[in-house]
Structure 1
Amino acid sequence: MKGLFSGVKVGIFLLIVAGATWYSFHAVTEGIGSAKGYKVHALFNDATGLVDKSMVQIAGLRVGQIVDRSLDGRKARVDIFISQKHRIFENAVITKKSTSLMGGFYLEIDPGTPTMLDPISGQKRKSKLLKNGDRIMVVVEPTSTGDLINNAGQLLPEIQKLVQEVRKLTSHNVKTLINNTDNAIVTNSKALNSLIKRIDDVAKDIQGVTATAPRDIDVILKNIRDTTKDLKTIIGRTGGRIDGVGDSLQAGLSKINKMIDKLDNQLTGDKSIVSNTKGLTENIKEITEKINKGEGTIGKFVTSAKIADDIEKITSDVKGFVGNLTGLQTEVGLRSEYNLMANTVKTYISVNIFPRHDKYYLIELIDDPRGYRSTTYTVTRTDNPVVGPPLSRTEQISVTDSFRFSFMFAKKIDFFTFRFGIKESTGGGGVDIHLMDNKLQIHADIFDFSANIFPRVKVGLMWEFYRRMYLIAGIDDLMNERPRTGAGGGRDFFIGAQIRFTDEDLKALLLFGGSAIGSMTK
């Protein structure tokens, strides 16, 4: 009778789980498909990951689903059913978005605006509402990881060519330019030093002339003014001095002429400044002409529009890919449960990774003092009555205290969350029911199917009494009265508490903790 009652309990539980599962999927799929609405379609280059009844959302809320997929020329046509109460304008934008890191996709629609600028006239006008059978013209498709890697691979040969060209330029042309510049500086510095020295000599000669000549000129002028009587006598008296002045001036002029000739040779001769810098200017001119014509890797890199477009596309792809990764939200939880019958405390450390608000990955590390139970049976047969009875059986039960882990995929549909994966190092699944705006949660898990007579069933209630703080109560291993093998310790009741931290909470804690540690060390 006792076994029959346990079987009835298992049957009732399975019926409840099956009914809840059927209701949730029926409400999501059939409910939208049977509602009143209209169909629109869009053309995609790649419809991978889009399946029938995939979600269609506006601002994160479900408004429709995919009803059909087909080929339209070289593109994939995706037909979408939209609920009648949601309006979509002709300037709407449809975007293919990833639901997870595993490759699932859904469609997000920007319904557009009631007014728009006419693309032909440029005037503002009213936007048309899309009707049954119309097409959404603007389609945005994400870049896959494979496309990103391919684009980067196509750019690598161009980068290698650019590096080789720069290496050649720096090893030959730049060295030639430096040598020519150095030779020009050395040669011209000698010429300039010689020119400055000659100018200094000329200045000394002119200074000598101007120092002696004024006195003689004053005497001559005075004699001319005062007397004209004896011109021959005056000329005879001052002739030598005038001749001396003339000789000095003539010597100075000769030196100036020589200096000008030397300067002309420096400017126009074979070893002139122009000749020394001619190689430098020719090299620069040759390089700039090649770059302007698009010759060589550097020229192609500067003038090629294709390379610029490829770089812009790759940076855009990287930005989108990194944006998807940085958009992940993380929630860390710490939970402790006190098992009343076993008088032990079970501890959980969990991490929830949310790629989207209705989907997450659960990772748990569990420490259960009840440990993992294993049973060993030893059967002894003997014909010697001295040794013992003819048939004896020895049962040995060992309990090991080991850590276990969970890794589950969770999907939220309405007020249900379905989980599937590894639960406490065994295969299993579970369902959560969210009530009172997520303040109250009922969760049930079934796992560890082969350790005892019945699978291990854990049912609990979680209440958020304060922001991100929870009280927990429930029953573990509901189907089995006594432990047998595996991680279950038999039917037991538990109470506990949990606290959760989000990304923002962790940042605030780290900031506060860092400030506190910094103030303590001062």
Structure 2
Amino acid sequence: MRRSWAAATVGALVLVVGALSYFLVKVTNERAPSGEGILVWGRFRDAAGLFQKSRVQTAGIPVGQIEKRELDPDMPMARITVRLLPGVKVWENAVVSKKSASLLGEFYLEIDPGTPIGIVKGEKLPMRQLKNGDQILNIREPTGMADLMADVGTIMPIMRDILQDVRTLTSGPIASAAENVNKMIETNSIVLQSVLTKVDHIAGDIEQITDTEGGNIRIAIQNVRDITESIKSLVGTSEGQVSKTGEAVRGSLQKLQATVDNLDKSLKNVETITTRLEKGEGTAGRLLTDDTIARNVEDITEDAGGFIRGITKLQTIVGLRTEYNFLSGQPKVYLSVQLVPRPDKFYLIEIVDDPRGLRESVVTNTESARGNTISKSTTYSLNRFKYTLQFGKTFFGLVTTRFGIKESTGGVGLDFHLFRERLLLSVDLFDTQFNRYPRVQGRVAIAPFNQRFFYLSGGVDDIINKRANFGSSGGFDWFLGGQLVFNDEDLKSLLLFGGGAAGGAKK
């Protein structure tokens, strides 16, 4: 009779859980929203480095993610669709920029949401707020290596023509003008020297003729001689300065010619390098022209970017739960760490201090000399500490399935998240070895605060087994307790507070 009642209880529990799961899945399929926030899109010439789920941010703050990337059906361009978070508003003068996130080739989108009032042709006009499915027209993309090489190839012929014109100028009109100036200076110096010599002779003749004319004439002639000497000295000094100026001009022209020659050689080297790059010669040329290498590098950067995004998006949730079992009169303590790489997947690591413990039996037999058993004793030992290692998958944000190791034995579990996770319903099935029937545990947790950092929990344990196979450690029980939950931001705040308190204590 007892066995039939237990089987009926298990069957009823399975039917109830199955019906509830079917109802929640059906309701979720019919009413679950496709996503929150609005969808906007834009056209890009190059979508390399942009992947699905890549972040979209404004002023360094995440405001959404890339929902989909595809080839635009109307133009040979990439069409990138972005899902913005609820509450993020963008106007028709918004600007989307593609920016590099790392040296591995990963990019993200920086969006300037625009303003309700924009300036168009010097006038202030109201801007339309974008709605779901609208297009962002203002797109900014960085210049790629291929565009840069094309610009260099366009500039090279222009630079070559400029250098040729400079060379022609320095070796033609300027050089001829400098040579003519130098010759003119030399010719005028000779003529002026001849004139001064003749003037000197005339002064001597006048002195001889006027020896008897008196002291006034002699004084006048002496003054004329002094004047001619001063003029001669001045002309000699000016001739040297003019000659030095001509030599300096000629030296500057020679240096300019040498600089032009060196620049021409450098441009020829640059032209040779760019030609080899275009032909795919050398390591750099193969990197720029070989599609296989480019695809391999893109695959590597995509894998590395995905790995890095997985690490940076990993969320850690730490929980501390204490429950009091009323029938056994002992508390049970849980310390859990939940690693969440994605919103719909997590890994649960848990250490449990269970008063029931793991039961291990040691049988001791005492035999007589004839081989008969005289006495038999059985000793049971308990190990209070247990561990849980489970993988969880969430469907539609409402139903979570778990499987793995539950309290050091194989087990599975089912969780229901209701009212934005303020009400949690859990059912676990595990521990199939130590009692007559598997251990079934049901729990209800309620978060009284909106922040969901504290839960009040209660439930029943070992529903099917009315009493344990080994002493009093096991069987039906009911419990009440509470749980504290910390996420990454809470842990950072606690660490900062603890570090500041420790520093103040040392002072």
TM-score, structure 1 normalization? 0.51
Indicate which of 431, 451, 454 corresponds to 2:437: 454
Change (3 A) 1:119 1:443: closer
Q: Are the aligned partners of 2:468 and 2:474 in contact in 1 as well (CA < 8 Å)?
A: yes
**Change over 3 Å in CA distance of 1:469–1:27 after alignment to 2:** closer
Work out whether residues 440 and 461 of structure 1, in 8 Å CA contact, stay in contact via their aligned partners in 2: yes
Matches within 5 A, 1:193-342: 233=218, 236-238=221-223, 240-256=225-241, 258-260=243-245, 262-263=247-248, 266-267=251-252, 272-274=254-256, 277=259, 280-290=262-272, 293=275, 294=277, 326-327=312-313, 329-342=315-328
Are the structure 2 counterparts of residues 303 and 12 from structure 1 closer, same or farther at C-alpha, using a change threshold of 3 Å? closer
**TM-superposed deviation, 1:455:** 1.9
Indicate whether 1:376 and 2:362 are aligned.
yes
Q: 1:418 maps to what in 2?
A: 401
| Aligned counterparts of 2:306 and 2:484: Cα–Cα separation in 1 | 33
C-alpha displacement at 1:518, in angstroms?
6.1
Deviation of the 1:422 alpha carbon: 1.7
Give the drift of 1:248.
2.0
Retained in 2: the 8 A contact 1:327–1:355?
yes
Aligned to 1:16: 13
CA contact (8 A) 1:411 1:417 kept: yes
**Residue 335 of structure 1: SS of its match in structure 2?**
strand
1:368 aligned counterpart, secondary structure: strand
Q: Please tell me whether the aligned partners of residues 390 and 402 of structure 2 are also in contact (alpha carbons under 8 angstroms).
A: no
5+ long unaligned stretches in structure 2 = 43-50, 54-65, 83-102, 106-144, 146-202, 204-212
Q: 1:27 to 1:369 in 2, by over 3 A?
A: closer
Superimposed CA distance per residue, residues 103-146 of structure 1 (whole angstroms, 9 cap, x where no aligned partner): xxxxx999xxxxxxx969xxxxxxxxxxxxxxxx98979xxxxx
Deviations 1:441-473 (A, max 9, x none): 443211121233322222333333444322333
CA deviation digits over 1:388-411, x for unaligned, max 9?
A: x54532312222343423323243
CA distance in 1, matches of 2:466, 2:237: 129
Distance, in Å, in 2 between the alignment partners of 1:460 and 1:501 is 20
Alpha-carbon distance in 2 for matches of 1:138, 1:243: 92
Instruction: After TM superposition, give the deviation of residue 363 of structure 1 in Å.
Output: 2.7
1:404 lines up with 2:387 in the alignment = yes
Separation of aligned partners in 2, 1:302 and 1:378: 75
Aligned equivalent of 1:38: none
State the partner residue of 1:478: 463
* Match of residue 176 from structure 2: none
For the residues of structure 2 that align with 1:436 and 1:254, how far apart are their CA atoms? 103
Matches within 5 A, 1:497-508: 497-508=482-493
Once residues 484 and 444 of structure 1 are traced to their aligned partners in structure 2, the CA distance between those partners, rounded to angstroms, is 23
Aligned counterparts of 2:412 and 2:286: Cα–Cα separation in 1 = 56
Q: Which residue of structure 2 lines up, in the alignment, with residue 101 of structure 1?
A: none
Instruction: Tell me how far apart the structure 1 counterparts of residues 261 and 6 of structure 2 sit (CA, whole Å).
Output: 98
Q: Distance in 1 between matches of 2:469 and 2:227?
A: 139
- The separation in 2 between residues aligned to 1:297 and 1:486, in whole angstroms, is 80
**Residues 6 and 360 of structure 1, relative CA distance in 2, 3 Å threshold:** farther
Residues 1:59 and 2:35 aligned together:
yes
Deviation at 1:233, TM superposition (A): 4.9
Tell me the TM-score normalised to structure 2 length: 0.52
Where does 1:101-250 land on structure 2 (aligned, <5 Å)? 233=218, 236-238=221-223, 240-250=225-235
Aligned equivalents of 1:328 and 1:60: distance in 2? 21
SS at 2:433's partner residue? coil
Over the residues paired in the alignment, what is the CA RMSD in angstroms?
5.4
For residue 201 of structure 1, what is the aligned residue in structure 2? none
Cα separation, 1, equivalents of 2:329 and 2:28: 48
- Could you give the per-residue CA deviations for residues 151-209 of structure 1, whole angstroms, max 9, x where no partner exists? 979xxxxxxxx9xxxxxxxxxxxxxxxxxxxxxxxxxxxxxxxxxxxxxxxxxxxxxxx
Moved more, 232-241 or 337-346: 232-241
Report the secondary structure of 1:450's partner residue. Answer: coil
Residues 276 and 12 from structure 1, CA distance in 2 versus in 1: closer, same or farther, beyond 3 angstroms? same
- Asked if structure 2 preserves the Cα contact closer than 8 Å seen for 1:378 and 1:394, the reply is yes
Is this contact kept in 2: 1:363–1:407, CA < 8 A? yes
Residue 12 of structure 2 aligns with an amino acid whose one-letter code is L
**Is the contact made by 1:447 and 1:457 (CA closer than 8 Å) also made in structure 2?**
yes
Is 1:443–2:416 an aligned residue pair?
no
Q: Which residue of 1 aligns with 2:412?
A: 429
Contact 2:32 2:396 (C-alpha < 8 Å) held by counterparts: no
1:476 Cα shift? 2.7
Instruction: Give, as a single letter, the amino acid of the residue that structure 2 aligns with 1:289.
Output: E
